[in-house]
Amino acid sequence: MATFHKTTAGNYRARVSVKENGKYKQISKQGFRTKKEAVIWASEIEAGYTDQLQSKYEKMLLSDYFENWVDTYKSKMEAATQYQYQNTLDNIIKYMPDATLIDFTRTDFQNFINEFGKDHSKETVAKRKNHISQALEDAFADGIIKNNPTIRIQLTGKVGKSASEKFLEKDELIKLDHYIKNKLATYPHAKSYLAIYISIHTGMRIGEIMALQSDDIDFEKKTISVNKALDQYRHVKSTKTESSNRIISVDDDLLNELTGIEGPIADISNYGAGKALKAAIKELDIKPVSFHALRHSHGSLLLSQGIDIKYVSSRLGHKNISTTLNVYTHLLSSQKESEEEKTQRIMMSIF
């Protein structure tokens, strides 16, 4: 973008703002006799700068640009988020190893989405599409590419799991709970089983469970303090959001299993906990779900028993109640008929 000013000497000054590597720099010149001359100079500078940028990136692979872009703009994000961007980079290299940034078109982008969508859910495809679009839109904004290839790209992908497949029903959760409790009776404080048991009874995230210390347990008040988490590299970090810092009331059964532990409560990897859960599910012949689904199962169980949704939202550490509503829409919808019948009975009894 260029600006023009008339100086006290009666001539004109032009200033051009150009963007490089996410930062703006100013190029200026004065002494033009007319504003038209200043405008022509500014246009030449902008055009020349664009040509210079395009020359610089002419042979750069899309994967190389994306990697540099992530290092520049996403380096301060949570490790889990960085992992997602790395996953996108891996897929760019896998599906488009020879794609160059300058020549990448909307057709190329759509072909990638179509091919990637054959074996992945729409949710996963949407993440990859969003990441690549962010990088390409910045390249377009910086003048590196002349056209924006992200416009009107159609999302494809397989239908993901239904809401009911993402959590265990009450009877399934009870089976799993009894199974894990019996395992803990045979193998006291076994880390994998304990992690599963904690999740069933609290709805805590796996990272929060992995970071849990004995000092976080208050046996008198019957609470667990959630104030940290471990990432996939086992580095201690803050919880997912500020609202994730919370104090959870817990039942006596869980407290009994935690009694006598000093230091880390469940020093286990995400993989180890998931492996133990998978084996338990296979033996019990119940619905196959991920470890994270235990968190949804806990929330679903509470809501199905009439626990107030605001309390459930706070207990799970959701940022706001709308998050809870979005996650458990399927359950709330299934309760609608029952609530309508209650409403009719109340209206008839009153009037």
- What's the pLDDT score for residue 330? 61
pTM of this structure: 0.61
**Could you give the C-alpha distances from 243 to 18, 210, 320, in angstroms and in order?**
41, 19, 8
- Residues 67, 21: Cα–Cα separation, whole Å: 13
Task: Tell how far CA 7 is from the center of its chain.
Answer: 52
In this structure, CATH architecture of domain 165-337:
Orthogonal Bundle (1.10)
- Residue 224: the pLDDT is 96
First and final C-alpha spacing in the chain = 70
Q: What's the confidence (pLDDT) of residue 42?
A: 77
Structure tokens at 320: 């706001």
> Which amino acid belongs to residue 61?
L
For residue 143, give every residue at least 6 positions away whose Cβ sits within 8 Å of its Cβ, in sequence order, or none: 18, 19, 49, 50, 53, 54
Over residues 42-99, the pLDDT tens digits come to 777 666 655 565 567 778 899 999 999 998 888 777 666 777 898 999 999 999 999 9
Query: Residue 341's pLDDT is what?
Result: 77
Alpha-carbon distance 202 to 191, whole Å?
16
Q: Is residue 229 within 8 Å of 237, Cβ to Cβ?
A: yes
Q: Which segments of the chain have a pLDDT < 70?
A: 1, 19-23, 45-55, 78-80, 160-165, 232-233, 239-241, 243, 329-339
The domain ranges of the chain are: 2-57, 62-141, 165-337
| CA–CA dist 246, 224 (Å, integer) | 8
Could you tell me whether strands 236-237 and 246-249 are parallel, antiparallel, or unpaired per DSSP bridges? unpaired
**CATH of span 62-141:** 1.10.150.130
Q: Can you give the pLDDT at residue 259?
A: 95
